Amino acid sequence: MRQPVRPKKALGQHFLTDQGVAQAIVAALRSRGPVLEVGPGTGVLTRYLLQNPEVQLKVVEVDTESVRYLLEHYPQLAPGLYEADFLRLDLSKLFPASFAVIGNFPYNISSQIFFKILDYRQQIPEVVGMVQKEVAERLAAGPGSKTYGILSVLLQAWYDIDFLFTVGEGSFVPPPKVKSAVIRLTRNNRESLDCDEELFKKVVKTTFNQRRKTIRNSLKPVLASLPALPAYIPYLDARPEQLSVDEFVELTRSL
């Protein structure tokens, strides 16, 4: 058998070795049918996903050494194993219909992974992922929290987010310098935002990028670009962390 894969710092690899944690992550996934595992590494989650006959598993792994290891230890993966960069994949070619996503996400690209999931939100009803604890807290945070930010709003517009449990540094090889946490995203019932979605994203990003300013001040360039100033624009004297998703929608609609 091939020797264990060498963790690569450039890929943000910290391999989970705690089997109890691995089982808990897989158990948190409620979806059945097509499932995509992102970054399986040495297959610590893959092992338990393959044990469920209701799961139709595909995996995407960018590390060639990990791919060889997976094929040697889990040859049944071969038809559905893609050696590729998840961020560059056209997921609709892998899955013509809906599919769930699971993974121990590399911390250095976790935010990009969630932005990619947003692009496919109509196909992805559920995500279970392990990320850096502070990222998990940020994604699940509500209005009024200091950690509430751009991804909190953009994800919560389309998903209900549950912070499930914390994972200590000793569960990994090599141990990361931070604690980790597992979150679950479940698609909500919202079909549209009832406003211009591109403008919504621009408003959210612009205001949080200057979160110490009032919305009135951070949106000055946006307001100046309007052909005519609306008669009423709500929340201008608030700060972005005070606004819920629905209030951001209302603000965007008023523009």
- Read off the pLDDT of residues 128-149 as tens digits, 9 standing for 90 and up: 999 999 999 999 999 999 999 9
Question: How sure is the predictor about 7, in pLDDT bands with cuts at 50, 70 and 90?
Answer: low
Per-residue model confidence (pLDDT) at position 13: 66
Does 56 score more than 70 pLDDT? yes
Per-residue model confidence (pLDDT) at position 224: 86
- In terms of pLDDT, which residue wins out, 55 or 222? 55
Q: What is the pLDDT of residues 146-175, one digit of tens each?
A: 999 999 999 999 999 999 999 999 998 878
Does 117 score more than 80 pLDDT? yes
Does 9 score more than 80 pLDDT? no
Residue with tokens 């008669």: 231
Distance CA 234, CA 238 (A): 9
Does 10 score more than 70 pLDDT? no
Does 22 score more than 70 pLDDT? yes
Does 202 score more than 90 pLDDT? yes
Question: How sure is the predictor about 181, in pLDDT bands with cuts at 50, 70 and 90?
Answer: very high
Task: Tally the residues of the chain.
Answer: 255
On average, the pLDDT of the chain sits at: 93
Q: C-alpha angle 54/56/61, rounded to 5°?
A: 140
Question: How sure is the predictor about 226, in pLDDT bands with cuts at 50, 70 and 90?
Answer: confident
- What's the whole-number mean pLDDT along residues 185-214? 95
What is the SS3 assignment for 81-137? Answer: EEECCHHHCCHHHHCCCCCEEEEECCHHHHHHHHHHHHHCCCCCCEEEEEEEHHHHH
Dihedral through CA 129, CA 37, CA 53, CA 69, nearest 10?
Answer: -120
Percent of the chain with pLDDT over 90: 85
Distance CA 195, CA 187 (A): 19
Tell me the torsion sign for CA atoms 145, 87, 160, 133.
Answer: negative
Secondary structure element (H or E) that encloses residue 61, with its range: strand 55-61
Question: Which ranges in the chain belong to alpha helices (H)?
Answer: 19-28, 46-50, 64-73, 91-94, 110-119, 133-140, 150-156, 197-208, 215-218, 220-224, 245-254
Q: C-alpha angle 136/4/42, rounded to 5°?
A: 40
Task: Determine the longest span between alpha carbons in the chain, in angstroms.
Answer: 71
- What's the whole-number mean pLDDT along residues 184-213? 95
Per-residue model confidence (pLDDT) at position 3: 46
All domains of the chain, ordered by start, with CATH?
A: 9-187 (3.40.50.150), 197-254 (1.10.8)
Does 46 score more than 80 pLDDT? yes
